[in-house]
Structures are given as C-alpha cells and as structure tokens.
Amino acid sequence: MKNRKIPAVLLAFACMFCTEAFAQNATLVSPNQKVSVELCSRQNSDAGSWYLKVSYQNGVKQTEVIPQINLGLLRSDQDFSKALRLVRTGKPVSIHEDYTAVHGKRAHCTNQANELTVAFETPSKAKLNLIMRAYNDGVAFRYEFPEKSGSFVVKDELTAYSIPDSTKRWLEKFNPANEGLYSSMVDGKVQQDWGYPALFNTPDKSCWYLIHEADLDRNYCGSKLSNAGTGTEYKITFPDQWNGRGKGESQPTVTLPWKSPWRVIVVGSLADIVESTLVDDVCPPSVVTKTDWIKPGIASWNYWSDNHGTKDYKTVCEFADLAAAMGWPYTLLDWEWDAMGNGGKLEDALKYIKSKGLKPLMWYNSGGDHTWVSATPKDRMLTHENRVEEFTKLKNLGVAGVKIDFFESEKQDMIKYYLDILDDAAKFGMMVYFHGCLVPRGWARTYPHLMTYEGVRGAEWYNNGPEFTTTAPEHNTVLPFTRNVVGAMDYTPVTFTNSQFPHTTSYGHELALSVVFESGIEHFADRPEGYYALPDAARTFLKEVPNTWDNTKLLDGYPGKYIIIARQKGNDWYIGGISAENMREKRTKLEFGFLPEGVKYKLTLIADGKHDKEFSTQYLVVDKSSSVDIKMLRRGGFVASLRPLL
C-alpha cells in the first residue's frame, strides 16, 4: 500500500484563490480537473458563516452540482458556525493512494485527490479546521478540533446540503434497520428524515451525485439527512432518542483532538457513481496485517425458505449438502441453533458440516437493552469478556464467522459496540456479518474481515407480507445505484421457488442478482430443490460465479428501470442484467467494448426464455467489436460469462 502526501508547489489548477469578491475564497479542483469544491463566505468577509459549492466539468460544460453546503457545529461550550474568522489557508497537498481490497467491487484500488486545510477560530479563540478534498470522482470534507485537550458534547451538526427543486432524487425514508424502499422525486415536498446513501441527478441531467458519510468511528454517532421544515435543504441529523429503546445518548461526546467523519459526495456520470470506491478510499488502511484467513464466498441459508430451519438438524444437513453439491464454502446456522433437534444438536451439525468440507457460520442476537428481541443466544457478543469467551469456543468448534443481529441504533455507544466487535473478532480470526444494522461507512477497508451488512430491504421481505412481490423488481434496479455503491450488501438473493409470498421476477432476473449485487459473503437463499431443479447451464453458473471482484463496470442502466453491469475476476468477465419493466419486454444490445484488443472469448449467455420460469442459453465466440441482441421479459434478466479462448 502506498500513501503519499506531496506538498503541491505548482498546483495552479488544483487550488485557485478568487480575487473578484473576497480574496480568501478558495476553490480546490480534482487532479483530473472535473470536480471542484469552493469555500465561500456568506458575509463576503473573513469572519462570519461559511458554505461550500460543488461543481462538475463535463467536457466544455460546467454544472453547478450543489450550490450551497452550509457548514458548522454547535458544541456544548460555544457555536462554531456564525462568527468563524478565517485564520489561515494551508498549502494544498496532493494525495495519491493505492491499496488492495480483500473483497468488494475492485481488488486494486487507486485514488487521487488534492487536499486543503482551512483554519478558523471563534471570537473566544477556539479552533476549528475544515479539511477539504477534491477527488477525481467526488468531494470529501470533514471538521477538526485541533486543540490537544478537552471533552465536549456536540449538540448539533449544521452541515446542510441545498438541493434545488427539479433535481431528480432517490431517497429512502430512514429507519434504524435501513430496510426501506427508495422513492423517486424531483423536489423536496416530502419532508422527513432520510437514510444514506442519497442519489441525485442535476436538473440538466449532465451530472449525478451520491451523498454519504465515511470513516465513522467511536468519537461520533451515525447521522442521517433531514429536510423536515425546509424542503430543499437536507441537514445532517443525529439519531432520535427513541432509537435502541432509548438507550444511549443521541448527541455525541468528543475528546480533543478530534475529527468528524468524512462527508462524502461521489460526483460524475452514473458509471462514476456505481464504480466508485470513494467511501472506502477516505478510510484508514487495514488494521489486520495478516488477511489470508479472510475468505469471501457463497453460503447456503435455510431461513428464507423455512424461518425455523436451523431448529431442525435434518434441514441443516440438507443445506450443508446443498453447499457441498454447489461448491460453495459456507452454510449459515441462523437463529435457534441452540434449540436444535430432530436427530442432532449443534455439535452434531457442526461435525456434519465440516465432514462435507464446509465452514459453518453462526447467528447471534446482539443482545442488551437496546433491542426488544429476546431470541437466543443473546448477550454473548455484548461485552469484551462475553466475546472472548464465545470466540474461543467458536474457534475450537471450527466456526469461520458470526452473523450479529438487531442493533437498532446509530448512537455513539452503538458505533463503539460495532467497532469493539470487529476488534475482538480480528484477534480470533473470525469473520463478521452485521444484520439489522447501519449501512456501510467504509469500515471494510479498515476491518477487511467485515464481510457484509444487511442494511437493505432484501429477499427476506418476501416473508413479511405481500408488498415485496410487487415492489422488488424496481427496487432491485435502484440498489446498484444507491445502497450497493457504498459497500457490501447481503440482499440474500437468487431464489427460484417462493417463500411465504411469491416473487414476480423471472428466473433470468433472479440468476442475474448473483452478479448485479456485491457482497463479501453472499447468502443464496433458495431451498435445495430450487437449485437442483435448474437446467445444467444455470446451475453450473451458480457453482462458478465469484462473489469478489477485480474490477466492476457499469455498461448501461437507469435507477428504477434497468441495469447491466460487468464484473471481472482474473481473465474472466461476468455480466448481469435486470429489468424492472412491468408491462413489456426490454430488448437491448450487449456490447463488449470493455474487453481487451485482440482477444477472443467464449460467451455463455443465459437469458429469459419463452416465459419467466424458462431460460434460453447460447454459446458464442465474441471479441471487443462484437455485439449480441438480448431480450429480457417483463421483470426479466440475464447473465453472461466470458472466458478467453486459449
């Protein structure tokens, strides 16, 4: 891993100082000259309140992306927003960083940015720094209290994004489990709290941007966006006091010196959004020095088809047999493993699973007073002592990872709990999956054994009522542009039979989710007969499809309508496409311009057949100049694999 900060003596284009109005206004431009962020004074003087503007250069056209981002914090001792005097503008530095990701949308990550630190002080001489970065694919900024001592409560963060009406937006109403549906709007008439990430398209359609936060640590709480009472202004907002059964404080306590999480805005084309690793890029490098024990992979999972499946030893064995037959490395023992019967107990199940060459994963209730859920085992992850005892047992039993559920809050105490779990799990070589949880904040870069999160309305919702039967097709085409951009997402996809309520997506659509969605551990959710009954080509595809990638490219798509995405593993490529169209077929031309020159590939294309439970399979030879016509049924989809011809 390389991380270089080079004093920028000649960054004439990277950092420019405006002279027409107020000399200290600073504009920071990305290395590729496309993204810029400008610091502005509201009073046109060196003291008062401040805001940022974000712009995007698309060829000869410049787009004002966000006209105003209000800045400031309210600390328990004073106001850091209304009377900030600019003391110093630091020298710009150039950042270039390369690192390797254990799992995710890209194995080798590289990012470039220009950074500028601006120092302010209040009338009482208290210090506040604003750190700004302009990346090739976005903007990030954070606050810093640089003083060396002191402990304070942050009463409010005043960061607020002004989003003009006529801006298309995809927003999810906030709930602590982050399991809502995204709504598409063009204005701010719906006023409430919204979860991350939030996707926007400028009124001129030339630029997209996605707002999120990253590098959230123990020194702050998670936040959300709220336009309540303002409409067009989306303000950073702390958790509600009722979250987590009212346990913990909504306002975070900070100890100086202190830095806030990064406020991240991914900027560019839709492809720039989908392919970005910016949320991970701004986070600290891995704290795990030896990562060979961290093994991404696919798991069989019995809960979707039988909500009490792990209570039954014979069901557990059937799902272990499924994983073994499909070549998947894991099977998950969900809740009620401590009440297992019908021929065997936990130890018998673990022995059987390991006899098949598999590694077991096990579910836990996060426990504590923050959740009403009484399902056991409970409280075994709650304290450091609990975790050491439990991880010691699990290591001796050959368990590879834990799924921990029901966090129900993003208050500071819960953020500390998440990170404490990850620290202890790393010491025992234990992979972790969070469920009923926050959405990713870039932690997988720092803690690569954090394999995935729920934080999404996934296939489990087919158990919860009839709503998902009708909303899933469109929802599935929104997620790759929103939730899955910012980190691993265990939607528990790829189901062909039905759970409590049926799905209307085609078999081609369901098969494509194995590529369209990304997750470090992917739980394929169908019952064994759902996979065994597939035709050879589709079943072989699910045996071979990776779930961690060397590269990711968006080929085509639009949120809520369709997506076609290509992912690379070694020399092979995999393509997944899905449509939300409810009334008619979608026909598209699949082109291969992303392939290298002079190399021919064997294409296996598995698309919708004559009806939604049938496949049509073709085998072709293609190269960079080829194209193939594809038909997707209503709510349909397709997959393709490409392997170089020897």
To the nearest 10 degrees (0 to 180), the angle between helices 412-427 and 384-397 is 40
> Residues 76-120: pLDDT tens digits?
999 999 999 999 999 999 999 999 999 999 999 999 999 999 999
> Residues 335-366: pLDDT tens digits?
999 999 999 999 999 999 999 999 999 999 99
Confidence of residue 19 (pLDDT cuts 50, 70, 90): very low
Whether 26 contacts 15, CB under 8 Å? yes
Confidence of residue 330 (pLDDT cuts 50, 70, 90): very high
* Torsion angles phi and psi, residue 423, rounded to 5: -65, -45
Q: Which contiguous run of DSSP H or E holds residue 403?
A: strand 401-405
Per-residue confidence (pLDDT) for residue 10, from 0 to 100: 35
Per-residue confidence (pLDDT) for residue 430, from 0 to 100: 98
> Residues 361-418: pLDDT tens digits?
999 999 999 999 999 999 999 999 999 999 999 999 999 999 999 999 999 999 999 9
Would you call 18 exposed, middle or buried from its count of C-beta atoms within 10 A (0-12, 13-18, 19+)? middle
Q: Which two tokens stand for residue 299?
A: 């798991």
Per-residue confidence (pLDDT) for residue 3, from 0 to 100: 44
Give the bridge partners for 7, in sequence order. 93
Whether 513 contacts 526, CB under 8 Å? no
Q: Which is nearest to 327 in space by CA: 641, 541, 548, 551? A: 541
Whether 542 contacts 524, CB under 8 Å? yes
Per-residue confidence (pLDDT) for residue 290, from 0 to 100: 96
Per-residue confidence (pLDDT) for residue 60, from 0 to 100: 84
Whether 239 contacts 200, CB under 8 Å? no
Q: Where do runs of H (alpha helix) occur along 356-462?
A: 384-397, 412-427, 443-446
> In this predicted structure, which of 24-38, 211-225, 561-575 has the lowest mean pLDDT?
24-38
Q: Using alpha carbons, list the distances in angstroms from residue 280 to 130, 219, 261, 331, 343.
A: 20, 19, 12, 28, 45
Mean pLDDT across the chain, nearest whole number? 95
The C-alpha atoms of residue 179 and residue 642 are separated, in whole angstroms, by 34
Look at residue 629 and tell me whether its pLDDT is greater than 80.
yes
* Torsion angles phi and psi, residue 432, rounded to 5: -130, 140
| Helix, strand or coil, per DSSP, at residue 172 | strand
Q: Which is nearest to 291 in space by CA: 426, 161, 191? A: 426
Confidence of residue 6 (pLDDT cuts 50, 70, 90): very low
Long-range contact set of residues 177-181: C-beta below 8 Å, sequence gap at least 24: 177/408, 177/436, 177/437, 177/454, 177/455, 178/437, 178/438, 178/439, 178/454, 178/455, 178/456, 179/454, 179/455, 179/456, 179/457, 179/458, 179/461, 180/457, 181/457, 181/471, 181/475
The C-alpha atoms of residue 328 and residue 298 are separated, in whole angstroms, by 5
Whether 266 contacts 198, CB under 8 Å? no
- Considering the entire predicted model, what is its pTM? 0.96
| Helix, strand or coil, per DSSP, at residue 155 | strand
Per-residue confidence (pLDDT) for residue 24, from 0 to 100: 54
* Torsion angles phi and psi, residue 134, rounded to 5: -115, 110
Q: Where do runs of H (alpha helix) occur along 114-220?
A: none
User: Max alpha carbon distance in the chain (Å)?
Assistant: 81
The C-alpha atoms of residue 439 and residue 313 are separated, in whole angstroms, by 33
The full set of domains in the chain, from first to last, is 2-281 (2.70.98.10), 458-487+501-517+548-646 (2.60.40.1180)
Q: Which is nearest to 381 in space by CA: 414, 412, 345, 354? A: 414
Whether the bond into 164 is cis, omega within 30 of 0? no
Whether 362 contacts 397, CB under 8 Å? no
Would you call 20 exposed, middle or buried from its count of C-beta atoms within 10 A (0-12, 13-18, 19+)? exposed
**Three-class DSSP labels, 574-636:** EEEEEECCCCCCEEEEEECCCCCCCCCEEEEEEEECCCCCCEEEEEEEECCCCEEEEEECCCC
Rounded mean pLDDT of 495-524? 98
Q: Using alpha carbons, list the distances in angstroms from residue 583 to 229, 371, 561.
A: 38, 42, 12
> Residues 543-565: pLDDT tens digits?
999 999 999 999 999 999 999 99
Look at residue 200 and tell me whether its pLDDT is greater than 70.
yes
Residue 574 C-alpha from the chain's centroid: 21
The C-alpha atoms of residue 511 and residue 364 are separated, in whole angstroms, by 29
Give the CA angle between residues 28, 272, 261 to the nearest 5°. 55
Q: What percent of the chain has pLDDT over 70?
A: 96
| Helix, strand or coil, per DSSP, at residue 215 | coil
